Chains A and B, each alone.
Chain A
């Protein structure tokens, strides 16, 4: 079955699964309207394409092309899953610190095209920080290379950045070159049950003070009680989870300052519990399975405003906040969209990532909508690389909503 939640037009399409770059070139030269798919875990991001003739599944284009072990750099086929890549790199003591939802399915090309920031702190662990170079096939079949395989490079325009988060609208990514890290020698997770706060502002200040008190955390998440992650009680206030990793000394970072900053005792999680918790955080959104009529919303903006927003969104449904990433995720009934909008603080922008069929076409994906000149730039960049509109999957600017 190739239908994907919320993307009706894709369901109708013919599917091809090329095993080589030549196959991708052929598929993109035939004049079809093509939607691209990696592991299919985030097909519903962005505005739904109105029409798709061909669903080009890139997941068979997989495997490591070259591991430049001494440079901590790898080049791999874009259809390689994150889990497979990291399994192959582990014997060398290295890994790519990407942690998208469902890494056993999510492919490197897909994670990059989705611009999927994982659970780790930024900067340093986003696709945007890790992607050194790529090869892509443009609509019409032309192959281009962008970036390179060195860690510092300002030779020409950064097309790698343009492809990161492009949602398949600009070209089919076939190969990627990523920067790697040494596997941590040790990891440790602490959990703090934040006192119940009276208002959003108090909560945001408390959480940010906690973050500031943590020494070089590797991941930080705020989990509201209603979100129900493995091992977390559904009662009380928000839980603040902090992971330290790296050298044993880094993992042993002191927890007392965090405890006194947030006014809560520290709970040390065992290895298994910590692993389950972080896998839960990683896979919480997009929600699978999704309740009927549910929206998935990502909020971004200045950290205090995002946290205040998250505090309110948590009253509407499951939510998560990543304070250092200035990002929160939440879900709410589509019928409560007014309340979702009312939760938004000035300076925060919402992207509706998942929605019931037809909802995005009616309401749009970006709230507030992208300003006119930004939309026009998006649309012009899309036309620059895909003049015929042959790539269906749509970043804003490629769809009706934003084509103005």
Chain B
């Protein structure tokens, strides 16, 4: 039995399901918990976790998929960059097919634009060094997990004196939107399964004001089925016992104060800024912008472009999905006009998107 099998043990998971069932009976009402991490969303669908939970426990997905929360205006800007001469746009693969207002990176590439898929931002720096006559623009999206690595790529570019590497930065931070969504009476969130990787960077303290100040139970939870079930059990117990704390189910990986080194790298390059989230809108202080010191690596400042006026896709309900207001099955386009082959919205494209997960595992 290896490390993973231990957390996929059928009896262990069944035992947790039983305990959750008993606890939920004591609550005497339906509880709604939100996960805000694409990997959790996928794991919940993939292992059929919902089918193991009692009817009184509802899991909904929030804005946890970095590609999905990236608004159309960002895609449009990336498209504008890849139409410039002598320009290579480097991106994580998931971004390729996300539809912008009228085009996508994939469509641009098919028409001759130089768009490359990279597996890390350092690959994009290497690409810039290999192509000194061109500009390389890396699409920096993602939460607190990815942001330090992108900051690291900018520091590496500085150290290696790479002048043709730029980042189009749209990094986001998760705690503020969590606070915002929990205040919505319509979704009535009873607690959060807090993201594992993000928490490994920001630590448990980042959720303190949410739990203690706003009374929303928070449990940092791992990705394996037994982790998720235990995370749910801890949330149900807090609700039943009238508590709201930050608990750490994933202590084998996540430390209470997170990863200070990674945060330092992040803070050397980025400063908090306002950010636009697909479906939620502008949230003050929920983004990360490249600071003055590294402005020459900031694509937006170093190479301004004009992009088209952003338009949303008529009928796509990604916004409501990302706020946990509806599930993919409530979207009339789901699996009809919108499929992974011809996605209407970002939530169907990304491998971590809620609609993609529901399409693949849910029906």
The answer to whether A and B assemble together is no
Chain B interfacial positions (CB closer than 8 Å to A): none
Chain A interfacial positions (CB closer than 8 Å to B): none
